[in-house]
């Protein structure tokens, strides 16, 4: 059995009920999933309740401003903390898991697609991407592709303990939003694999778990941000050049 954790704020009862209904429908439609998946709601770290303050040791305010030109919002910190906690749980229990946010819908491909993923040897597979992927390569599995493109979002992904440990090892300090960090395969060495077609679709209602800091960089921070961005692009290019991997 593979645990499926749904990240949900305790105060978001409507989202809980909606997701609970979607899960029930999924299991009624595909009964065999009851023998494969075990769904469990995970109480998200709540920024409004200042719960993210427990993770302050991970946040480097000055480095964040220097490299990004702006701080991480409280919502972004809480979102990172929620996923970080589940990575720890995956590593500690030494069992693969699936992590979902509570604003997703299951596509018609979910049941068969997730069955193939949990039987694979891959350590991390995204179940969807927010951006349209124009650059990717096939893998040994017909419905999973490899990409170096930015995918964005943390709506849903499959993760093994080895993948979780790699994420954790390079996330001692939080500088970027969690989805940006997860896309930085050249930093944490967790390659981006994506299920195609997507196994999830995003609910049209806006999320209430995180918010993006919209403050624009000015002056010196704008310069340091651009230097950082260029440096990361060069590092990514060199990494891809020297770390070709065939899946």
Q: Where are the alpha helices (DSSP H) in the chain?
A: 13-29, 61-68, 74-93, 110-118, 161-169, 178-182, 185-188, 219-242
Indicate if the pLDDT at residue 215 is higher than 80: no
Is residue 11 domain-resident? yes
Domain limits at 40? 2-242
Closest CA to 193 of 145, 226, 143: 145
In the predicted structure, residue 213 carries a pLDDT above the cut 70 = no
Q: Is the pLDDT of residue 209 over 60?
A: no
Q: What does the pLDDT read at residue 212?
A: 53
Over residues 131-151, mean pLDDT: 91
In a domain, 247, yes or no: no
* CA–CA dist 6, 18 (Å, integer): 12
CA angle in degrees (0–180, nearest 5) for 123-125-129: 155
Stretch 28-33: mean pLDDT, rounded?
98
Domain count across the chain = 1
Report the CATH number at residue 172.
3.90.550
Q: What is the mean pLDDT of the chain?
A: 92
Is residue 51 included in any domain, yes or no?
A: yes
Interacting residues of 226 by C-beta distance below 8 A, sequence separation 6+: none
């Amino acid at each position: 059995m593979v645990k499926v954790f749904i990240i949900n704020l305790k105060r978001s009862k409507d989202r809980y009920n909606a997701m609970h209904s979607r899960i029930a429908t999924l299991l009624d439609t595909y009964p065999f999933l009851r023998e494969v998946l075990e769904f469990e709601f995970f109480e998200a770290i709540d920024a409004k309740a200042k719960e993210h303050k427990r993770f302050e040791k991970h946040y480097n305010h000055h480095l964040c401003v220097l490299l990004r030109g702006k701080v991480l919002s409280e919502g972004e910190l809480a979102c990172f903390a929620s996923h970080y906690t589940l990575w720890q749980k995956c590593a500690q229990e030494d069992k693969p898991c699936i992590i979902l946010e509570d604003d997703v819908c299951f596509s018609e491909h979910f049941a068969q697609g997730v069955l193939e993923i949990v039987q694979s040897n891959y350590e991390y597979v995204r179940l969807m991407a927010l951006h349209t992927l124009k650059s990717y390569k096939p893998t040994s599995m017909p419905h999973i592709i490899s990409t170096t493109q930015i995918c964005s979002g943390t709506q849903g992904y499959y993760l093994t303990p080895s993948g979780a440990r790699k994420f954790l090892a390079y996330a001692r300090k939080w500088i970027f939003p969690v989805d940006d960090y997860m896309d930085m395969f050249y930093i944490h060495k967790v390659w981006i694999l994506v299920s195609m077609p997507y196994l999830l679709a995003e609910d049209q209602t806006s999320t209430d778990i995180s918010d993006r800091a919209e403050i624009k960089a000015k002056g010196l921070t704008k310069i340091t941000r651009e230097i950082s961005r260029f440096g990361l692009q060069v590092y990514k290019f060199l990494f891809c050049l020297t770390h070709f991997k065939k899946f």
